[in-house]
Structure 1
């Protein structure tokens, strides 16, 4: 009690011997992790940052660059507009199928109508429709780096629009009335997002020096042309699949699953999870890294994480010695998912691994977060999804 009086409980529980035993050296790693280090700042864009960090590695190699970033703000802009449209159309769909506002589904969706977070299939939707551009051609804005204020404005408008749409459907019911209401609402959404994030250019010209200091110029080109002609040949997002490890008894391995009302684009690719044992995910990830390709993934990072040291390990905190009870380990992963103790909270990229000969089932991993490097040991119990060709 005295030790915890002026100290962080997690810092107090730090296991010294585990810290000393942690090695940041790896037997297999991707050739380059990309420069500069990226930072999502006060936003929930980790899924965009992680995806673009994975995509830029073969792009940097192909064009012999010292450093490079794709514009995270560009995909964020497109996602905000598309996701608002997706949400409003889902509200129309829910109203037409008799879902009550006070019901669990609509209440849950209205709680956070426009979150920053996303899934791999959402990345595919955005890149296929809108392409990519260098960060220099569409840099960060305040609301991209600090999205809370913009999101609150959009949340308020989307809830207001939901009430308006439900009123139109209950009083009129004509499809033309619903469409005209949606069109007007989306014009207002476009204005809000454009003011906060800026309007991306329809075409751009990218000038750069390669490692040999030779000058190059690409453009004028549209973002979609840039992706199709210069990025897709070295990294095709459609060649990837999203795997998940969900051990809950009702979700059998070897099957594909989706989540109702989870998406970001009307008419776009649905969010699909291919459920496989965690051993399959680890094996595929290891093979990908051995072949020089980083792996996008999402996991739970709030548990057993020593942020200052960059270590995530099931044994990094010795709760038993401090409190006389174990924490986080009293439930299986299936139980944690069922009882709300665990969920995917952050997307990152695996860039290195070491297969432990003495414990082959538990390799160590190096992951690239959007602002630092973290080492994971024995913690893939929390891994939820990754992608691979």
Structure 2
């Protein structure tokens, strides 16, 4: 039943404010400083000392600048650790984020056009079509999408395909691409609904992809096909490896089996029982490539697996909600960082499941866990390599409290050798298909 706000209610609310003795003090603080500064607990800063008993990597922190490529940066940062360990490259060595970014946008465009054709029989008002057209492509992604790209295109060192204006500042090319793709969607839906043949539709789609490729070359440069890998190692010794393709470079220098790594999520919602696998409809980039697949486990198991991989000397890609209880400047992620509920003298509590179910929190950023502080075998805080450059945190590294891990970490990527036999068997089971708008389909 609808109920309007009565003037008498407003008067009562104003009188009730007198019950809060600190109201004027809080009002002055919040109006002058804002909510978060007024609610900040700076004892949290002292507790998040950046010292860790297990420390896997201190590599130079990269910078995604004004782009949404965190998932690419995080994945390539885990892989460059392998190059650093095996070939003694300098700490500032990076893999080309632009090379991977180019192919992701190219493949996402084709993925979108395929979904346009699949849903052409549905009205524009259907939820799936509306969801599809809302964002034809974007910067974000998932671990399995990154694997699909590398399996098809390999990787390259940053020197072979460096940054451009559009890779650093992606808003303009995203706008142009999405306008073009919506234009193409109009044409494809009409062809399908006019009963045109599959050959005619595919020929038109091919013309569209030719245009997309041209747009991407204008924005990022032509993707490198062959290059020389030339560098001085950390001991100042010169090296050169000539005429490499990105596929050969990945096999030789990164040299990991992507199939060994699986996505482990923590989604404690009633619709996703633990020890089951899930995928998300219309989530992906490479048509015919690896599908997104999540294996859902309790949060304490995610921590155990992460610690095991760190202790084996390997960093961990993870996805979280970095917008929650996070201090970007000081590089701290801690649930005790701000006490907004105490400041406002109200109850704002939500469980992790409730945050997901009610749209309060989703995974929106990928980073790399490079260390952990263990006290009596239990984690107290975690070392995190971000991709926001070295001017934030401790030279770009953040400290994440263990409680923040519990509340706002949603995904870790783990080598399946650390799983138990029963977990390996459960992870291999065909996944349940989730709706396109499910929270676990959010792109980092």
Into which bin does the TM-score normalised by the smaller protein fall? over 0.9
2:221 alignment partner, one of 189, 198, 205: 198
Query: Aligned in 2, Cα 1:292/1:326: closer, same or farther, shift over 3 Å?
Result: farther
**CA separation in 2, counterparts of 1:106 and 1:363?**
45
**CA separation in 2, counterparts of 1:11 and 1:58?**
40
Who is 1:313 aligned against?
334
Contact 2:70 2:387 in 1 (8 A): yes
Who is 2:50 aligned against?
24
Asked if 1:139 is matched to 2:162, the reply is: yes
Who is 2:387 aligned against?
370
Asked if 1:387 is matched to 2:413, the reply is: yes
Give the Å deviation of 1:72.
Answer: 0.3
> What TM-score does the superposition give when structure 2 sets the normalisation length?
0.83
Q: How large is the Cα RMSD of the aligned pairs?
A: 1.3
The CA deviation string for residues 142-192 of structure 1, in whole angstroms up to 9 with x for no partner, is 000000000000111111111110100011331011101100110111111
Aligned length in residues: 379
**CA separation in 2, counterparts of 1:63 and 1:112?**
41
Who is 1:245 aligned against?
266
Bigger radius of gyration, 1 or 2?
Answer: 2
Asked if 1:50 is matched to 2:71, the reply is: no
2:353 alignment partner, one of 329, 334, 344: 334
**CA separation in 2, counterparts of 1:326 and 1:17?**
22
Moved segments of 4+, more than 4 Å: none
Asked if 1:13 is matched to 2:30, the reply is: no
What SS is found at the alignment partner of 2:130?
A: helix
What SS is found at the alignment partner of 1:193?
A: helix
Give the Å deviation of 1:215.
Answer: 1.4
Matching of residues 232-381 of structure 1 within 5 Å? 232=255, 235-327=256-348, 330-357=349-376, 360=378, 363-371=380-388, 372-377=396-401, 378-380=403-405, 381=407
Contact 2:48 2:381 in 1 (8 A): no
What SS is found at the alignment partner of 2:283?
A: coil
Give the Å deviation of 1:357.
Answer: 3.6
> What TM-score does the superposition give when structure 1 sets the normalisation length?
0.95
What SS is found at the alignment partner of 2:33?
A: coil
Asked if 1:227 is matched to 2:250, the reply is: yes
Unpaired segments of 5 or more residues in structure 2?
1-26, 389-395, 416-444
Contact 1:299 1:343 in 2 (8 A): yes
Contact 1:88 1:182 in 2 (8 A): yes
Query: Aligned in 2, Cα 1:51/1:386: closer, same or farther, shift over 3 Å?
Result: same
Give the Å deviation of 1:122.
Answer: 0.7
Contact 1:131 1:225 in 2 (8 A): yes
Contact 2:99 2:224 in 1 (8 A): no
Unpaired segments of 5 or more residues in structure 1?
none
